[in-house]
Homo-oligomer: A and B are copies of this chain.
Amino acid sequence: MNEHGLIDSAVGKARAAAPMWAQASISTRTHLLRSLADALEAGKDVLVQLADDETHLGAPRLNGEVARTAFQLRGFAEQLELGKSQIRIVDEAVVGVPPVGRPQLTRVLRPLGPVAMFSASNFPFAFSVLGGDTASALAAGCPVVIKAHSGHPKLSQAVYDLALNVIENQGLPDGLLTLVDNASRGAGAYLVQHPDIAAVAFTGSYQGGTALWKLANERPRPIPFFGELGSINPLVALPHALEQNGEALANTLAASMTLGCGQFCTSPGVIVLLEGQASERFVGQLVEALAPIKTHAMLTAGILAGFEQASAHVGANATTLLAPGEADAGPAPRLYACDAATFVANPALREEMFGPGALVVKASDLEQVHQVLDAIGGTLTCTLWGVDQDTPANRALVHAAEAVSGRVLFAGVPTGVAVCAAQQHGGPWPSSTAPQTTSVGYAAMERFLRPVALQDAPVWAQG
């Protein structure tokens, strides 16, 4: 079968399975989600070895990621048991003329249908075959057609085989989860435009994500496209925070910047400081903390090339604070600097460096900090250090941070995204194509549900 034939077959199976899965009981869904988690953990040793061979992320991180992936699958099962897919609003009939008089209405949530899921390069477990998008779509009642990532094809196949085994053992249709493997870029386009695909979940680069988003919008019937596209994650550090605790904060920030060789969509990429002694000292501490850090190999040669190119672009438009030293297994960390006016004026400085690099932006006052955030426009996270007191200036800064981001941190670093109900991982464009939704945390399930109002429906139809 050719590539399109394979996709037609996968989507056809998903379409056939959709009505059954949409109407499957909560216990059927939770049993599957929990069994997938169990199977993943049971296969951990072999899978982590495979993943490390393909991604270089190292066993400790990969074991942690398996734990996270299993936790997510079980977490969505719990959400189902809490009734989160069955939220109903009932308005009883009111006798009389409108606007007061009305029929009986029940608002229910219904699954969208088959979801095309594009795996991430940088989370071979947690945002791949059985990752957050798959878990939330399955929980919502949608079959998933998985586009495996070319960076870890063997792992994807192994996880898929394990999942399919669980599905078949439970007597469920194999169309619940299908894998489109070894597929070309054109195949991804074909999948997004397939008439039986009802929604797309994507985690990856701005370039790749927006290309597919455009294709989803060019369909005869456009469909929701949930794209998480990466981000530059500004961190604003006010002087008094740095005075108290500069060295420890510099070490924390350097570790966050270089974690996983900087291959996180929440990696802090822009550090906004107010001019002055405390900031100067902090920059020195940061350079000192970064310089000796050795990184592991990046996920793919393409990602390495992209990082070198992006950091060269930024470097060409800024001062270099830390020139990259000799590469270890992965590229050496690097740090650049510019002033706020230059940052605002030059879009090249807002390019994401997906890797261990960051840009220090020096603002002369808080107004310039606001201008910097405003220029960034959309980001997954914004971190504020030293914004603890309830003052008008701090409130304005929090408001500005909220206006451009999906998560505002008042301490710590943005890497590490907790899986919980309160999480929001998705901010204004360009960090997300659907900023009112999240791809991490339990609200992610809402992406795959659509409200339907049932008017004067018999009780059996209001389930």
Contacts and interface: CB of A to CB of B under 8 A. Distances in A.
A452 B420 contact: no
Contact of A107 (B72, B107, B421, B452): B421
Nearest to A104: B422
B89 A421 contact: yes
Contact of A399 (B22, B67, B72): B22
A137 interface: no
Nearest to A97: B64
Nearest to A433: B222
A100 interface: yes
A67 to B, nearest CB: 6
A450 B422 contact: no
Contacts of A418: 91, 98-99, 102-103, 105
Contacts of A67: 99
Interface stretch (A292-300, A314-322, A453-461): A453-461
A410 B456 contact: yes
Interface in A215-255: 217, 221-224
A368 interface: no
Nearest to A418: B102
Interface stretch (A172-180, A283-291, A338-346, A424-432): A424-432
Given A421-B91, A454-B410, A429 B98 contact: no
A306 interface: no
Given A107-B443, A399-B23, A453-B424, A388 B458 contact: yes
A166 interface: no
A327 interface: no
Contacts of A458: 388, 390, 410
Copies of this protein chain in the complex: 2
Contacts of A388: 458
A59 interface: no
Interface stretch (A48-56, A154-162, A359-367, A400-408): A400-408
Contact of A422 (B90, B113, B222): B90
A110 interface: yes
A419 B222 CA distance: 28
B421 A452 contact: no
Interface in A103-119: 103, 105-107, 110, 113
Contacts of A435: 224, 450
Nearest to A459: B390
A72 B72 CA distance: 40
Given A217-B217, A436-B451, A455-B408, A98 B399 contact: no
A150 interface: no
Contacts of A424: 107, 451-453
B455 A409 contact: yes
Contacts of A99: 67-68, 71-72, 418-419
B451 A438 contact: yes
B224 A436 contact: yes
Contacts of A396: 19
A276 interface: no
Contacts of A103: 409, 411-412, 418
A176 B22 CA distance: 43
Interface in A88-145: 89-91, 97-100, 102-103, 105-107, 110, 113
28 contacts: A22-B399, A23-B399, A64-B98, A71-B100, A89-B421, A90-B422, A91-B421, A98-B416, A102-B419, A103-B412, A107-B443, A110-B402, A113-B403, A221-B378, A222-B433, A223-B429, A224-B435, A390-B458, A390-B460, A406-B452, A407-B453, A408-B453, A408-B457, A412-B455, A424-B453, A428-B450, A435-B450, A436-B451
Interface of A: 19, 22-23, 64, 67-68, 71-72, 89-91, 97-100, 102-103, 105-107, 110, 113, 214, 217, 221-224, 377-378, 387-388, 390, 394-396, 398-399, 402-403, 405-412, 416, 418-425, 428-430, 433, 435-436, 438, 441, 443, 449-458, 460-461
A-B CB proximity, top 5 nearest: A102-B418, A424-B453, A71-B99, A105-B422, A390-B460
